[in-house]
Chains A and B, each alone.
Chain A
Amino acid sequence: MSALRALPDPVSATAEGAAAPISSTDLLRRDDIWRARDGGQRLLSVQATGRAPLDAALPGHGWPIGRLSEVLLPQTGLGEIELLLPLLAQRTHAGQMLVYVRPPCPPNIPTLARAGVALDRLLLIAPMSEREALWATEQILASGTSCSVLLWAEQADERAMRRLALATEGSRSLALVFRPLTQERQVSPAALRIRIDRPLARASLGVLKARGLNCSSAQPLRVRV
């Protein structure tokens, strides 16, 4: 099916060539146009996280695929990986690689296996510097493979994040960057920004930014998982 989709569509090709007027309904069907009214739920490419409260809160009822997402943390060990583990495990079974890029601590393999991660799809990248980690992440995202990439970045600036966002766009990858809370003020190109202050087992997370949701850093949407 995907092969057929790759073939050029003769109808749209001629429409483009003749610069025919585009109707507004066609325009609204585009992936990169969303309307605040319907919360962007209809068109976004998402995948359910398996955590019902989170899915209910997120636009499109799932985690964004093919767009950069970001989790801000004061420190590690707050349940931030556990949050997405069902989704990550499910993706490995679909044949998609799960790539850890420069985590503060390597994952425990038996735990991942028990959570259902297909271990033959697991790759850990431990580069020497954050610069190389950013480069590697960009390469993976831009390679056209569909992966789930988890990156831990401390000093990534807006430009670096924008590069990652560009590389993610149009791919079928899940791209998630863990960043320190100190970088919350930075303008972010991420489609989804989440902030975790305290262990998720006891506290809620805050959605700072999501397309189609009315929330902000000042007024985060609290979700109790």
Chain B
Amino acid sequence: MTADHTWLCLALPRLALDLIDRAQADQPAGAPRVVIDGPEQRAQVHLADSAAAAHGVRSGQRLAAAQALAPLTIHRRDQLAERQALERLAAWAYGYTSRVSLDGGDALLLEVGASAKLFGGDAALQTTLQADLAELGFSALLGYGATPAAARLRAEVARRDPARSGAIYPLAPLALGDSALDSRIVATLQATGIRTLGELAKLPRSGIARRFGQATLDYLGRLRGELPEALDPYRPPDSYHAWLELPASCSSSEALAFPLKRMLNDLAAVLTARDGGVQHFMLRFALESARRSSEMRSSIGDICRLEVGLIEASRDPEHLYTLTRARLERMRFPRPVLGIHLEVARLPSFVPRFQDLFGDSSEATSLTPLIERLSARLGDAALLRPLWIADHRPEYASRWRPHAEGPALIRPPEGESPGASRPLCLLPEPLPIDRDSLILISSAERIESGWWDDGDVRRDYYIAEIVEVERLQRGRLAATVSMAAAAREPARDSFQLTAGARAWVYQDLRKPECWYLQGWFG
């Protein structure tokens, strides 16, 4: 490739089939497949795979005719998905060059001259691009050119002859049929004995404009670079959406692993290109409708949502996948999943984790992935941080909030008497107990507070020694932990209070016959 071939056209002739293959792990062997287009009654073959092509199935054929040639697996074309795939590829290409534009239905135009040096030369850049495309699951044909039109032309030639993909050769001998000229003009030119672009270019300009129209002259000008071409530049969006339709509906989370990995790889590629990261994303699983419809594909019944949040922005696909899988394992789909939608509402800038030269990372940084892993599997409500608020009511002062809502919050009360004895374990809710199961061993400490809100209390607190476990447990001590996440678990018989243990109890002064256990001195 010479230095002046700075434009690259990436053509994706198999786009519709690539999109189907990307959703499944193993390529189905042998069975001829086609992607069809057009209205239900007059469906046409949009794209045939190599097996179908071997049977003589061609693009543009009527479906009925194609079906007569071979038993076909039929997929319906999804133009929206194709458009989205192209936009994702544009976002990926944006990582290699700042000048990207979507070109037609299945091609991208990239200005690579300026970035080739950065990526280690033209050959290295081409290898990298092709490796990336293979990784993303797309087969592309490459056409280089000094101008966008020339690049597009070489890509067009490569569609007919894939061996010429990425090659540089003179344009003059190319047949007019390969060019983007109107087919009627091509026919007229051929009738006058002009068969190649070189022959056309040799004609006097004024004659071309008069006899074959200004458009023909302009095309030649754009091909040579004499006329500038206005391209619609691609601008990366601030959010990310991707929809993947599964080739076969599946209900197990294992079967979803492969398509999910693909989607997260796509996302990671876009994030890398933008030098961004993701901190929160939402997966929506479209479920099959309960009512079976007579249509070719079942309709979407409802949506299962899965939110994944990270503490620090990340763009490592493995990490994103690990977190997603841990959450996915706990999900149950009532009906088979038809497709997956991935949404990232915000794309924050990525700040790489600081690492010490000697790998001696500080405690806080190594803790973050651990906490993410734990909350992914256990749920956000299971990781709790202390919340200490200045309040005389013990159950208000000592509280817990999910780690995801923020770090420990400490607002210690001022001027608290340091002598007051407080238990080491505190029940989130006081338990009613039998007064006779205790011996009070301290004097009363009165706590009167909360008249300003709903939690008005008047209590006398005592330290008590438990003398009779049987009576104490009549107050169903088994339900000791009634914390958010553990509320549903059965009684834990092994860790109960024992005779001789010191408990922290109070008498409700508004109902003096009522005694409560609030905690104990563990």
Contacts and interface: CB of A to CB of B under 8 A. Distances in A.
Nearest to B423: A108
6 contacts: A3-B359, A74-B498, A77-B497, A85-B424, A126-B484, A199-B502
Contacts of B493: 154
Contact of B494 (A7, A107, A140, A182): A182
Contacts of A4: 358
A120 B407 contact: yes
B485 A96 contact: no
A195 to B, nearest CB: 14
B519 interface: yes
B370 A145 contact: yes
A75 interface: yes
Interface of B: 356-360, 363, 366-367, 369-371, 373-374, 377-379, 381-388, 394, 397-400, 403, 407-408, 410, 412-413, 416, 418, 422-428, 466, 469, 480-481, 483-486, 488-489, 492-498, 500-503, 519-522
Nearest to B397: A110
A126 B522 contact: no
Contacts of A145: 363, 366-367, 370
Main secondary structure of the interface of A (DSSP, over half): mixed
Nearest to A97: B367
Contact of A199 (B360, B398, B500): B500
Interface stretch (A9-17, A129-137, A157-165): A129-137
A119 interface: yes
Contacts of B378: 125, 127-128, 132, 136
B356 A128 contact: no
Interface of A: 2-4, 6-7, 73-82, 85, 95-97, 102-114, 119-120, 122-129, 132, 135-136, 139-140, 143-146, 152, 154, 178-180, 182, 198-199, 201-202
A103 B403 CA distance: 17
Given A76-B498, A77-B498, A77-B521, A154 B424 contact: no
Contact of A120 (B358, B410, B427, B502): B410
The 8 closest A-B pairs by CB, nearest first: A77-B501, A3-B358, A75-B498, A108-B426, A104-B495, A180-B494, A109-B398, A3-B360
A201 B500 CA distance: 10
A104 to B, nearest CB: 4
Contacts of B398: 106, 108-110
A82 B422 CA distance: 12
B481 A123 contact: no
B189 to A, nearest CB: 72
Contacts of B370: 139-140, 143, 145
Contact of B366 (A7, A129, A143): A143
